[in-house]
Structure 1
Amino acid sequence: MTDAISSILSQIRAHEMRARGPLADAPAGNAINPRDLRPDAPGRAGGVEAPGFSETLNNALDGVSRAQRVSSELQTAFEMGDPRADLARVMVAMQQSSVAFKATAEVRNRLVQAYQDVMNMPI
């Protein structure tokens, strides 16, 4: 179950990187570096911690919100006849926000299921 959640989170991070446009090859600021997870790893700076789960989740939710806002703004600009908002850009932005929202809903469903599994475990 943890692998599934990690997979969904990595897909959200990949989507966020694609949504950045020309900076898509740059690593995400909230990317989890596997070296940071091991305290004995070489090259790990003392006192620097990997982002926590809540911070990672908040960043992912902010990315989804940003994608939806951009999509809405492009759609409104297209409807008002702005020549910079062509139909292709509007459709791509709408699909990106749709995929991001669906991925977020899937993560939520997985987290709820994991919570229910833990709560139903015998003591």
Structure 2
Amino acid sequence: MTLDGLPERGSWKGLRAENGKCQFLSWKNDFKPDGRFTITFFRDAQQTQPIQTEHGTWSAANGKNELRTDGVRMPDVYTYKLTDVDTVRYVSLASDPSGDCQEDYDFIERRIRG
């Protein structure tokens, strides 16, 4: 099932480019069908060194994905485009001012299967 072209549930992994303006991170994101998400950030691409885990709600409509992390005042908002059934490209439109990186950036998330 999809919601406006965005897979509405499942596990995804992504990473920031190591040569970008923001600190390198990788993450695993679990989108749940009830509109909740859990995301764990890691220091390494192999995802063996966790930094922190966040929980919140997510929604997607009209080509935009909004993540509202529990305890954070402002949501993170991204445009998204499926490049294939297992790959989504996101571009940051807005993020909470307390976030770790305020630079505009884009990234790819890939579905974790099995």
Q: What TM-score does the superposition give when structure 2 sets the normalisation length?
A: 0.25
Greater relative contact order (Cα < 8 A, sep 6+): 1
Structure whose CA Rg is larger: 1
Q: More strand by proportion, 1 or 2?
A: 2
